[in-house]
Structure 1
Amino acid sequence: MFKEFREFAVKGNALDLAVGVIIGAAFGKIVTSLVNDILMPPLGLLTGKMDFSNLFINLSDTPVDTVAKAKAAGIPTINYGLFFNNIIDFLLVAFSVFILVRQINRLRRPETPPPPATRQCPLCLSAIPMAASRCPHCTSAVDPVSQ
Structure 2
Amino acid sequence: MAIRRGRSAAGGFLRDFREFALKGNVMDLAIAVIIGGAFGKIVTSFVQDLVMPIVSLFIPGGNWRTARIVLVPGTPEVEGSEKAILIGSFLGSVVDFVIIAFVIYLVIRALARFKRQEEVAEAETAPVDPIVVSQERLTTALDRLTQTLDSRS
TM-score with structure 2 setting the length: 0.66
Alpha-carbon deviations, 1:12-68, whole Å to 9, x = none?
12111111111111111111111110111122235567222211112223266xxxx
2:107 corresponds to 1:100 = yes
2:139 corresponds to 1:111 = no
The whole-number CA distance in structure 2 between the counterparts of 1:136 and 1:25 is: 66
Q: 1:105 to 1:19 in 2, by over 3 A?
A: same
Alpha-carbon deviations, 1:56-111, whole Å to 9, x = none?
112223266xxxx98x5343211122111111110000000000111111111111
Alpha-carbon deviations, 1:116-140, whole Å to 9, x = none?
xxxxxxxxxx527xxxxxx553236
Q: 1:80 to 1:47 in 2, by over 3 A?
A: closer
Q: Which residue of 1 aligns with 2:51?
A: 39
The whole-number CA distance in structure 1 between the counterparts of 2:41 and 2:107 is: 17
Which amino acid is 1:41 matched to? P
> Which of these residues, 21, 29, 42, is aligned with residue 17 of structure 1?
29
Tell me the SS of whatever aligns to 1:92: helix
Task: Work out which of the two has the higher radius of gyration on C-alpha atoms and give 1 or 2.
Answer: 2
> Which of these residues, 70, 77, 87, is aligned with residue 80 of structure 1?
87
The whole-number CA distance in structure 2 between the counterparts of 1:80 and 1:98 is: 27
Quick check: 2:73–2:83 contact (8 Å CA) kept in 1? no
Q: Which residue of 1 aligns with 2:142?
A: 137
Tell me the SS of whatever aligns to 2:72: coil
Q: 1:77 to 1:92 in 2, by over 3 A?
A: same
Quick check: 2:74–2:83 contact (8 Å CA) kept in 1? no
Q: Which has the higher helix share?
A: 2
